[in-house]
Structure formats: C-alpha cells, structure tokens
Structure 1
Amino acid sequence: MVFSTTSNNIAIECLSGNIAAQTDIDAVVNAANAQLMPGGGVAGAIHRAAGPELAEACAPLAPIAPGQAVVTGGYRLPNPYVIHCLGPVYGVDEPAAERLAACYRNALRRAEEQSMQSLAFPAISTGAFGYPFDLAMRVAFATVLEQTNTLQSVRLIRFVFADERACDNAVEILQTLTS
C-alpha cells in the first residue's frame, strides 16, 4: 500500500519497503549511530547497499549528537545523497521529543541546502533506540507538516516502513494529523 497526501503543495507518502531501494529519491535518511558507522537495522541496510565508501566518507563527520544531521554521497545506492541523523535513545536522550523533532527538521534543512527535491525517511529511533512507534511517528509527522511551509526545493517527503503493519499504523497517525 502507498498512501499519499499533500501539505503546502509538498507530497507526503507512506509505503512499506526497503529504504535502501528508493530509486526515485534524491536522498535517503539514515537512522545513524553517533559514529556514523554500519550497524544493524536501517544503518546496516544503507551501509551494505552503499558500500565501504560510505563509512569512509562518514568517518571525518563523526561523532554527531542526537538531533544532528549530516550529508554524504550515496555511493552505490540509487540515491545521490544520504542524510545521516542521530535520533534519541528513548528514556535516555531527553527531551526525546525535541531531539527527535530536531532530526526531521535538520534533515530537511540539509536537503534544502543541497537543493534536493525528494527524501525518504525511516522511522527514526523506533528500532534499537526504543522510541515507541506511535509516539515517534506523531513527532515525525507533526514536525514534517510544520516544516512544509518553509521548504523551497523539497517537493516529496517519503516515509518508508519495514512492513505493512507499521505502514498502516503510520498512515492512521498521519491521517489524524491532517484531517
């Protein structure tokens, strides 16, 4: 299932799939660790698809703090760019909601700085970092919707979820925020 809505003439999509296989997107967003190195989950998938050049490009940019975002090339990914964000560890990096919102705001800022037209987000911090999915998606969608009135180049914001169930839950949350 693909769900699409618009806010300030910017498309916002939700779909299930592989974040590292978004062939029509300028940048995929990496749910990174502080050292920007390969790991599990989204970071592992993106680094495996991009090849070892991604870790080499990340090394001088690390460490980053929760809420920060940095940009590298996409290397072997089908995307010219990767935007790396460090989400908060839920219950540790407080205030978690503010730091998570900063991830989405800063990723959009980096996209605008590079005149990107499209980017794809994972559900930042909802895996190993323990952020409850529904709470994280409320923060993510509210932040993105708030930012759409400031965007000049970005025209498409996609959220990519690992499975249909997560996607369906996210769509319900987005619909409550846009209705």
Structure 2
Amino acid sequence: MTHNDGKEHWEYPRNGDLKVNTDAAIFTNSNRYSFSMVARDHLGELVEAKSSCKQGTIDPVLAEAIGIREALSWVKEHGWCGTAVETDCLAMVQAIRCSSVTLSYLGRVIDECKGLLAQLKERNVTLMFVKRSANKVAHYLARHSNSIADRSWRMEDVSPDFYRVMLDDLKVE
C-alpha cells in the first residue's frame, strides 16, 4: 500500500481534478452482478455516475476487477485528467500494482487494467484503495442497480436517496 491508500472518509480531489469511486455487487438469487462508478469534482458535485448490471454468476473479485476496468475505460473515454480512481477492493489494487502475471480470465482483466493505467499515466490517473466507509456512493449505486441494464446519471437524474448518500459522504468528521 502507498501512503494515500486506506482512507476512511471520502476526500475532495484537488481543484480541477476528479475522483471516480467504483464498486461491484453480486446478486446470487437472480444470477446477476453489477458494477458502478461515480465521478465527482473538487466541490464534491456529481459529474456523472454510471452503473451496469450483467447476467451471470461470477466471483466477487472478478466483478470488482471488471468494475475497475470499466471505470478506467470510462475515464479514458471522457478524456479526464487528474483523476483518482478509488475502490474498496484491496486485493484488486494489489493485483493491478503487482508485476506478476496470472493466466486466467481474472488475470486478463487485471492486465487490461494495467494497460489502461499505463495509457492514462500522462493524464495523471491513479488507482487507490479506500475503505468501504470512503466508497459509500459507489457501493449504494452498485447495490441498487440489480435491475438496471446500463444507466448513466447526471445531478438532475439522481433519486433523493442517492442524493442523501452523496451529501452524507461530504460531511467532515
């Protein structure tokens, strides 16, 4: 871990930068999994949020890896610079930072994450581990997207519950 890993509370990014939180959820009863990503600016305001729910039974770590890969692709697609991508899955952050190669589907997703991070290095995009308490908004969205195929949100689209979770994140403790 680095000195920036393990934050317990959501922290504002620097002026002009963004923070993207990502999380995944498994729904065993319906054979589905989902992942979400939430981009916020230096004021804590929602830039955009996105979630996706897929059919299939997969390992939770693989779902987290897919969510991280999709978040990095999303950052690349938007051309965002100065972006910290945060996840509460320490195992994935460590695997992506590790130089070893794993020959499996999970290893392929990890390699794709490594490749995206290398491509985004000049844009100052980083991957960080945070505790679940600092990842509440992405966690909420992943848990509540079990019936939503693919969806994006802007500030005017969020539900009152989603908005409350975002506001709760911004409280300084």
TM range (shorter): 0.3 to 0.5
TM-score normalised over the length of structure 1: 0.42
TM-score normalised over the length of structure 2: 0.43
